[in-house]
């Protein structure tokens, strides 16, 4: 029995092209993550709003949090720990804070144990980024 290897040789480059193109589509994954993050944000809604110009509640409005100085949203009374953090919210800082708020910024007033599920936390951060553009 003789194998037809000419057909396999033609598939190799096409398969490589398909894999290469699929690696270039992170925007699709990010959009899906942000949608999942909207569901994770439901556990935040008791204390926070996310819409532009939304009110502060027990916690500050979180619209535009990514890239904002920690403890700086107008009209919210922050703990000294957040006012004096000297940081700007970025993905790494949000990840640490959302994992364990008390450990990330000791002395803060947020009464929340954190989002322990790593994927849920990444999705939530994607949602916060989307609402910071």
Q: Which of 123, 128, 130 is nearest to 36 (CA)?
A: 123
Per-residue pLDDT reduced to its tens digit, 1-14: 555 555 545 444 44
Kindly state whether residue 20 falls inside one of the protein's structural domains: no
Furthest-apart CA atoms within the chain: distance in Å:
80
- As a whole-number percent, the residues of the chain with pLDDT over 90 amount to 74
Kindly state whether residue 7 falls inside one of the protein's structural domains: no
Kindly state whether residue 124 falls inside one of the protein's structural domains: yes
Q: How far apart are CA 93 and CA 66, in angstroms?
A: 10
Kindly state whether residue 12 falls inside one of the protein's structural domains: no
Q: What is the value of pTM for the model shown? A: 0.75
Looking up residue 76, the CATH number of its domain turns out to be 1.10.760.10
Kindly state whether residue 19 falls inside one of the protein's structural domains: no
Q: How many domains would you assign to the chain? A: 1
- CB proximity list for 110: less than 8 A, separation 6 or greater: 47, 59, 101
Q: How many CB atoms lie within 10 A of CB 96?
A: 15
Domain that holds residue 78: 26-130
Kindly state whether residue 125 falls inside one of the protein's structural domains: yes
Whether 31 has a pLDDT exceeding 90, the answer reads: no
Kindly state whether residue 9 falls inside one of the protein's structural domains: no
């Amino acid at each position: 029995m003789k194998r037809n290897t000419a057909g396999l040789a033609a598939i190799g480059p096409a398969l490589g092209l398909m894999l290469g193109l699929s690696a270039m589509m992170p925007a699709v994954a990010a959009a899906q993550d942000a949608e999942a993050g909207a569901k994770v944000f439901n556990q935040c809604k008791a204390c926070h709003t996310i819409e532009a110009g939304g009110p502060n509640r027990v916690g500050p409005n979180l619209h535009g949090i990514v890239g904002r100085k920690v403890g700086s949203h107008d009209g919210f009374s922050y703990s000294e720990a957040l006012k004096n953090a000297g940081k700007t919210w970025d993905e790494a800082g949000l990840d640490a804070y959302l994992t364990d708020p008390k450990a990330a910024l000791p002395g803060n007033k947020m009464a929340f144990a954190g989002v322990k599920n790593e994927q849920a936390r990444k999705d939530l951060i994607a949602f916060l980024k989307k609402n910071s553009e």
